[in-house]
Chain A
Amino acid sequence: MTTTKSKAASELAAHLAACESFAASAPGPEWLRRLRRNGVTHFTELGFPTTKLEDWIYCNVAPIAKLAFKPSAGADASVTAKQLEPFAFPGWTGSRLVFVNGHFSPALSTLPAPQKGVTVTNLAAALTSGDPLVQAQLAHHAGLDASGFSALNTAFIADGAFIALAPNAVAAEPVHLLFVSAPGDVANTAQPRNLIVAGANSSAKVVEHFVSLGGAAHFTNAVTEVVVGEGANLEHAKFQEENLEAFHIATVQATLARDSRFLSHSISTGARLARHNINLVMIDQGVDCVMNGLYAVGGKQLVDHHTVADHAQPHCGSHEFYHGILGGSSRGVFNGKIFVRKDAQKTDAKQTSRNLLLTDTAIVDTKPQLEILADDVKCTHGATVGQLNDEALFYCRTRGIAEVNARRLLTHAFASEIVNRITVEPVREHLEQVLWARLEELIEKK
């Protein structure tokens, strides 16, 4: 016991030393340096979460702490545009910001045509130019209180995406953020920090896309802060297709102002261990938000979604749809919290979590967690775990469709229900291709 403990302590100490040296030497204005130091302090207190913590009970991150830790210093210049071809969305003509190991790569990126009131750039550039919005919002929503991982990300704030919309601005095209992990001599750690600020009545669509080059283990620890202003409309899609040795921990923290609309998607097929925290806080009335998610995993993969719909104010709606498809000996976790605060009357919160187990050895833990302090609210939740519907299978077969094809059809349909909610067609098409291949693998290998 003592040896394990001291080993864990020494692993943590190595991380701490790296944090401290980065925070001490990394460039930036004083407020940013202070922010990073706060990150270090919080991470020192929190460390990596253990499975003794309720929120991490199924998600053992000990292997991450054991990884040789190498914070990446900059974009790997050896990555070529050709290597990124498989990650292009079919027919996509829009912009794409590429981040290699967490750092912006101008050479691989295509910025959108300049548009009045729309800023699409990387965080490092925004910090250099001294955009006041960054100082006003960065780490005001996430990063210092949630978990050790967010604190760690904050300690290493250097680069990521910065998207800002002035009031009434409507982004002409969706933004594709491609986060690439390129193989290094030791496992790379990428800690992108993204900030999206949508001004009043503005509108935009943003896609975060996480991929790996090669099959070596790496660690992504991403934090995205989203601020949706009054009457603004934001669609945020996240697609994680990293390699099967990867560790992926990410938080999306959104603050939703009066009468805003927020559509969140999380599609997760990759990584050995993927943990997605998606937290939405409705800070004023009239918010309408959707959390839409799909995970399709096999082998020994673990995918864990922790979502929060925090109804802090009355007259808000949150609608959550999560589907899981699990093959091999994989494990899925869905934990959906709905908070309805004391004053949040007329809340309309709906949550469904449905899971399809393709094998006897796959496991899913799904848990709705409702804390309702107001009395005039509508909250529903439902969770299912099981196999394909026998009646639907029989129905397909009576039309002449072979059983194996009927299974395929119904499994894909289960995934399509989620994918179809994404409004950006090239993204949907890419997802359908990747998912099709992934599901074929899961069905074959079962």
Chain B
Amino acid sequence: MKQPLIEIKNLSAGINGKQILKGINLTVRPGEVHAIMGPNGSGKSTLGYVLAGRKGYDVTGGSVTYDGKDLIELAPEDRAREGLFLAFQYPVEIPGVNNTYFLRAAYNEQRKHRKQEEVDAVDFLAIVKEKMKLLDLPDSMMKRAVNEGFSGGEKKRNEIFQMAVLDPKLAILDETDSGLDIDALRIVAEGVNKLKRPDNAAIVITHYQRLLNYIVPDFVHVLFDGRLIKSGGKELALELEEKGYDWLIGKNGK
């Protein structure tokens, strides 16, 4: 069995003293896709933010080992440079910053961190073109300011595009399916599938089962009230689709 890429042990975390995650245990190995499902308010987005290092989300217990390092000790930018990527549920608009410029700045900071040479604008454009073709994205997207005036679908595609260029080891997709129509959903999911390799992994956080029709997970976990209350294979997602969460919550609930 491969070494874990990330090992979350008994993780507790919260905001402003309010406990939201109450002991999460999860191990993800290279090549795996894990889906985390759960009703609203169960702590799904909090888990994404805690792993990405958002200010205000305090870890109160447990540990997260990522690629052999203590993840919690790292600044958000260092987590990114070590190959962790969070695709936002609500990607942030940055008026005045060109999308290509932004991505090249990020790309080069990551390369610098890995003691690789920085890439100039011309070479970067070649990388961008290749990834855009892979994901079937329009050129015009790269000429605009980061996410500014993008439709919901364009924002999500831009997240996947950034992910394609930055080529993370572990991608966390936070509700990437929310607000997408079925075509946009398919495009986003295909992008994720194309980027899948034996040496990287993804945690797909989702509210609905429908995304999992396109991104087939190896493992499905149900998050409720800050804990993973059930884990299984991809068939668990179908069971949840059919029966909802109540039967599980009944057993574990408040």
Establish whether residues B76 and A394, one from each chain, have CB atoms under 8 Å apart when the complex forms. Answer: yes
Establish whether residues B77 and A403, one from each chain, have CB atoms under 8 Å apart when the complex forms. Answer: yes
- A403 shortest CB reach to chain B, Å: 7
Q: Which A residues touch B95, using CB under 8 A?
A: 413, 417
List the 8 closest pairs (A to B, CB-CB), nearest first. Answer: A413-B96, A399-B106, A400-B80, A397-B76, A416-B96, A395-B92, A417-B96, A400-B110
Q: Does A405 contact B (CB under 8 A)?
A: yes
Point out the residue from B76, B94, B96 that lies within 8 Å of A398, measured CB to CB.
B76
Interface size class, chain A = 20 to 34
Known A390-B55, A401-B77, A403-B75: A395·B106 in contact at CB below 8 Å: no
Q: Does A238 contact B (CB under 8 A)?
A: no
- B114 shortest CB reach to chain A, Å: 10
Q: Which B residues touch A306, using CB under 8 A?
A: none
Point out the residue from B55, B76, B92, B96 that lies within 8 Å of A420, measured CB to CB.
B96
Establish whether residues B80 and A399, one from each chain, have CB atoms under 8 Å apart when the complex forms. Answer: yes
Point out the residue from A390, A392, A397, A402 that lies within 8 Å of B94, measured CB to CB.
A392
Binary contact track A390-427/B, C-beta < 8 Å → 1, others 0: 11101111111111011001101111110010000000
- B102 shortest CB reach to chain A, Å: 8
Known A394-B54, A405-B105, A405-B109: A400·B96 in contact at CB below 8 Å: no
> What CA separation (Å) do A401 and B162 show in the bound complex?
13
Secondary structure at the A interface, as helix, strand, loop or mixed, is helix
Establish whether residues A413 and B94, one from each chain, have CB atoms under 8 Å apart when the complex forms. Answer: yes
Q: Does B164 contact A (CB under 8 A)?
A: no
- Residues on A lying within 8 angstroms of B by beta carbon are 389-392, 394-403, 405-406, 409-410, 412-417, 420
> What CA separation (Å) do A420 and B79 show in the bound complex?
33
Establish whether residues A397 and B80, one from each chain, have CB atoms under 8 Å apart when the complex forms. Answer: yes
> What CA separation (Å) do A413 and B105 show in the bound complex?
14
Number of interface residues of B (CB under 8 A): 31
> What CA separation (Å) do A395 and B102 show in the bound complex?
11
Q: Does B220 contact A (CB under 8 A)?
A: no
Known A395-B88, A395-B92, A414-B96: A401·B105 in contact at CB below 8 Å: yes
Q: Which residue among A390, A400, A412 has the maximum number of chain B CB atoms within 10 Å of its CB?
A: A400
Q: Does B166 contact A (CB under 8 A)?
A: yes
Point out the residue from A392, A400, A413, A414 that lies within 8 Å of B77, measured CB to CB.
A400
Known A394-B76, A413-B95: A399·B162 in contact at CB below 8 Å: yes
Known: A398-B53, A399-B162, A413-B94. 17 other contacts (CB 8 A): A390-B55, A392-B92, A394-B52, A394-B54, A394-B55, A394-B76, A394-B92, A395-B91, A395-B94, A398-B80, A398-B86, A398-B88, A399-B102, A401-B106, A406-B77, A410-B97, A417-B96
> What CA separation (Å) do A399 and B80 show in the bound complex?
6
Across the interface, name the chain B residue whose C-beta is closest to A389.
B92
Establish whether residues B75 and A400, one from each chain, have CB atoms under 8 Å apart when the complex forms. Answer: no
Q: Which B residues touch A406, using CB under 8 A?
A: 77
- B51 shortest CB reach to chain A, Å: 10
